[in-house]
Amino acid sequence: MSQRNARGQVRPSSFLALLPTLLALLTAAPPTAAQKHKDEKHGFEIRIPRDFNVVPINLDEKWVVAKFLYKRALDARKGWENEAPELRVIIFPKFDPKDFAKRKLKKGGKLVALQQLQNPYKNYHDFMQQNFRGSGRGWHVAKESNTKIDELPATYKRIEVNKILQGEEGVSHIIHAWEIDYGDAIYVVHSQVLADHDAKFRRKFMNCAKSFRKILRTESVGTDFGPTTPSDEAKAKAKKSGKALSPKEIFKLRKAQLEKVKAKAIAQLPGHWKHYNKGRFLIVYNGKVDRNFLTKVHKQASKVWDWLEERFAFIGEQKAVGGIIRICNDINEASAYVDTSSKSSYSARTHEIVIWKDRDYGFDQCRSSLNQGICQRWLEDKNPRLWWALPPWLDFGLVYYIGQLELKGHKLESNPDEWDMEVLREMLREHSFKPAKTMFEAEYGKGFGSQKDSVQCIAMVHFLMTKGARVKRYKTVIPKYLQILDRRLRELYAQYDQLFEDVVDSTVKKGKKAEAERKKWVAEWKKKRDAIFKECLKECFGNWSERDWKSFDKNWKKAFKS
pLDDT 10s digits, 332-389: 999 999 988 776 655 666 789 999 998 888 888 899 999 999 998 998 888 877 877 8
Q: Mean pLDDT, the chain, as a whole number? A: 82
Residue 327 — pLDDT band, cuts 50, 70, 90?
very high
Rg (CA), the chain: 28
Cβ partners under 8 Å of residue 318, min gap 6? 247, 250, 251, 254, 381, 382, 383
pLDDT at residue 301 above 70?
A: yes
User: Average pLDDT of 94-109?
Assistant: 57
Residue 553 has a pLDDT of: 95
Task: Write down the pTM of the prediction.
Answer: 0.81
Whether residue 78 has pLDDT greater than 90: no
pLDDT for 315? 86
If you average pLDDT over residues 285-306, what whole number do you get?
95
Which three-class secondary structure state does DSSP give residue 146? Answer: strand
- Share above pLDDT 70 across residues of the chain, in percent, rounded to a whole number: 78
Domains 35-213 and 248-388 share a fold: no
Chosen CATH of 35-213 out of 3.30.2130.10, 3.40.1000.10, 3.90.1150.140, 3.40.50.720: 3.40.1000.10
Highest-pLDDT range among 225-229, 401-405, 511-515, 516-520: 401-405
Measure the CA–CA gap between 521 and 527, rounded to whole angstroms: 10
Could you give the CA distance from residue 541 to residue 532 in angstroms, rounded to a whole number?
14
Handedness of CA 134, 137, 142, 143 (dihedral sign): negative
CATH number belonging to domain 248-388: 3.40.30
For 298-444, strand residue ranges (E) read: 323-328, 352-356, 405-408, 411-414
Between 167 and 65, name the one with better pLDDT: 65
Give the tens place of pLDDT for each residue, 208-265.
Answer: 999 999 999 998 876 544 434 445 455 555 555 556 788 888 889 989 999 999 999 9
Residue 435 pLDDT grade (very low, low, confident, very high; cuts 50, 70, 90):
very high
In single-letter form, the type of residue at position 455 comes to V
At residue 27 the predicted structure's pLDDT band, cuts being 50, 70 and 90, is: very low
Strands 213-214 and 44-48, sheet pairing: antiparallel
Secondary element (H or E) of residue 105? strand 102-107
pLDDT at 207 over 60: yes
- State which amino acid sits at residue 561: K
Per-domain residue ranges of the chain:
35-213, 248-388, 406-562
pLDDT at 113: 42
